[in-house]
Amino acid sequence: MSDVIPMPVGPAGGHVRLGSNAGQSMTRRDGIAKVTGTATYAADNRPDRLLHAVYASASIARGRVTFLDTAAAEAHPGVVMVMTPANRPPLAIHPDEKVGMFGQKIEALQDDGVRYAGQPIALVVAETLEAAAEGARLLAPRYEALPPRIDIDAQPRFEAETVGFGFPAAHAVGDLEAGLAAAARVVERDYVTPAQYHNALEPHAIVAEWQGDRLIIDTPNQAIVMMRGVFAAYFDMPEENLLLRSPYLGGGFGSKAAVWGPQLLVILAAKALGRPVKLALRRDQMFGPVSHRGATRQKLRLGLDAEGRLTALEHRAAAVGSSFENFFEPAGRASENLYATPAMAMSHEGIRIDTGTPGAMRAPGEASGSAALESVMDEAAFELGLDPLEFRLRNYAETDPATGNPFSSKALRECYAQGAARFGWAGRPLQPRQMRDAAGLLTGWGMGTAIFPAPMFQATARAVLRADGSAVVETAAADMGQGAWTSLAQIAADGLGIDVSRLEFRSGSSDLPDAGVAGGSGHTATAGSALFNAGADAVAKLAELATKDPASPLFGAGNAAVVARDGRLMLADDESRGEAYEDILARAGLDLIEGHGKGVRGEAEAQSRAMFSHGAVFAEVKVDPDLGQVRVSRLVGAFAAGRIINPKLADSQLKGGMIWGIGFALQEEAIHDPRTGRPVNADLAGYHVPVNADVPHVEAITVHEDDPFVNTLGVKGVGEIGITGTVGAIANAVWHATGVRVRRFPIHPEDLIG
């Protein structure tokens, strides 16, 4: 076992020494509750006198509601309230104002206008779910409809001011035109990615209950304390009067890190009726008011010298947004930090159509942008007669191309080497359509580079050592399936110098210290740092008690000379001199000792180093030469993401990202009827995502990487990087199998035959 130095940890200055819990493949702490059905998700809460809500969805994409038969709905037995723009109680903030970091204009019955199909146009509350649903149908809305603007390529483009959550829409390094002019060859290609919708197994849901001036909300949320503040702002109430509970989330992918209109309507209804109200979105209602990944049109130009090195790289993206809001998929940003080039330019245009507003969806920008980038890199390699891996190695960036800063760490070469060796890449023929399997299926191999930022947000945590030597730690973390309950507990236990079995981990509630956002692949780094520091603070206070107590064998030693392990403090240079935590507390007459910690990155490190996870994905596909049916038969990914806290959970997350890449490349797309603007595949029968039969073999390799700068734990993130190299790898493998280059995702069988 390694030691833990029990001193509060600052934001910089190299790794702390974690103990025996971190680095272990521990089984998920919440796993048994989930598989046995005892985990309580938001919609499982049933307070006394519960009412049920259903909202009516607009069946047009543009126009206004001219009539709702509220009398018929109100006459239905069981219906207790019909809320429309005419009688909706006021909010303290107009829904078209943006609130908080992830704030967008939302739809909360502020008027009779319709912005997109599926928009909430009324809320019906009833004694039963069936009565609420029937009441919503009885509203029989009539509309004044305008022609929907759905055809992306028919709408005008404009220069976007920002993309994503306020990122610059354009960035350039060096002289692009000079770099292109100096090139021996210019490769220019266009790529298309579709709209994709979050389809977490658990739809958005809320149970809202007012207890006097106190509000209790059960809703799945990825930013629990932050969103408590947003909810409180809409209702002009003190944050401490609002309790947001979110212990279990059945997936989030970015869509559950914000407040949406239907939630506000339920809270208004609960207040007006003086009874708790529950709403759970139907699957089709996930296609509208709770964001999605916007479609893109992307153009890339590569300038290449005679030896196949980049002289220039241009990535222009046209990203689709809603008619009323300014969130645009930051696809061009995917090209900024990966390949060495003296000249680079990234820019974005916006396109407005009549759908709900896009938002953050797993690897926002990087997923769609890397699909195009890794495809054009493969096309360039073929034009040059180079192996795709060799071409990427020739353009390996030793420093960040966008800033010139050194990387905090970068083990991408090792990822290339280990992934290629495991996959057997060395036997790949350069020419396409050269391999068939025993069944006569065309076989192709492709690869893609993976990259994703390693951010940190801000978090706080509390740790309490108890009289019996056990501990409890608290932070409002969100576990949406990534395993935060487990990996964060491992880090916290090491901060306290105890075994994780002696740790009680409390999270998922807004009355706990703020754990920041479970998003951006930064939750483990952020909340984990806060938890470790809180534990180290508690142990440092305990060490101070011992070293000042003449009855302690540690008397006279300074804190720096004391280490913690297995619930004991001992001298670093003489472990025979030590004692158990409970003995120190008992002699001091204390029932507990409390520590506090923060997780935040130092400003100097953030500005002086480029911080990313890296990886390489290798794909094998089988293609039926007559039917064009594509199956991904093998995926091997090698990833370097700093210190891995729980290899089992990291493996799960990396594989999950790669599986999402299969869906992106071959299956996932939202299709809207151009006549009505309505999504025609708003269910899991028509909106295809990979199932077990689509994933015969996926392997994730974690490459060792020490990063002394990214944070003191050395932790990056694994939640999103898996998708970024996979989409291009699969597309490249399809080309290698068939000789047909498809530049529109997802790749359909009809693209490959005829």
Please list the active-site residues. 720
- Does residue 63 contact residue 117 with C-beta atoms inside 8 Å? no
Sequence-separated (6 or more) residues with CB below 8 Å from residue 404: none
Tokens at 505, concatenated: 């981990």
Tokens at 498, concatenated: 């105890």
Cross-strand bridge partners of residue 301: 188, 314
Rounded distance, CA 530 to CA 598, Å?
4
Percent helix, strand, coil in the chain, to 5, is: 30, 25, 45
- Does residue 278 contact residue 48 with C-beta atoms inside 8 Å? no
Q: Cα–Cα distances in Å, from 94 out to 187, 235, 704?
A: 48, 11, 50
Q: Is 298 helix (H, G, I), strand (E, B) or coil?
A: strand
Rounded distance, CA 219 to CA 10, Å?
34
- Does residue 642 contact residue 609 with C-beta atoms inside 8 Å? no
Radius of gyration of the chain (CA): 27
Cross-strand bridge partners of residue 126: 52, 79
- Does residue 672 contact residue 680 with C-beta atoms inside 8 Å? yes
- Does residue 641 contact residue 651 with C-beta atoms inside 8 Å? no
Rounded distance, CA 739 to CA 444, Å?
9
Tokens at 172, concatenated: 């350039």
- Cα dihedral across residues 551, 553, 554, 555: positive or negative: positive
Tokens at 463, concatenated: 């740790």
- Cα dihedral across residues 600, 605, 610, 613: positive or negative: negative
Rounded distance, CA 156 to CA 538, Å?
59
- Does residue 309 contact residue 394 with C-beta atoms inside 8 Å? yes
Nearest to 501 by CA among 470, 480, 473: 470
Rounded distance, CA 26 to CA 583, Å?
29
Q: Is 532 helix (H, G, I), strand (E, B) or coil?
A: helix
Q: Is 578 helix (H, G, I), strand (E, B) or coil?
A: strand
Rounded distance, CA 505 to CA 77, Å?
46
- Does residue 696 contact residue 635 with C-beta atoms inside 8 Å? no
Q: Is 668 helix (H, G, I), strand (E, B) or coil?
A: coil
Report angle CA 336, 341, 345 to the nearest 5 degrees: 50
- Does residue 699 contact residue 633 with C-beta atoms inside 8 Å? no
- Does residue 658 contact residue 638 with C-beta atoms inside 8 Å? no
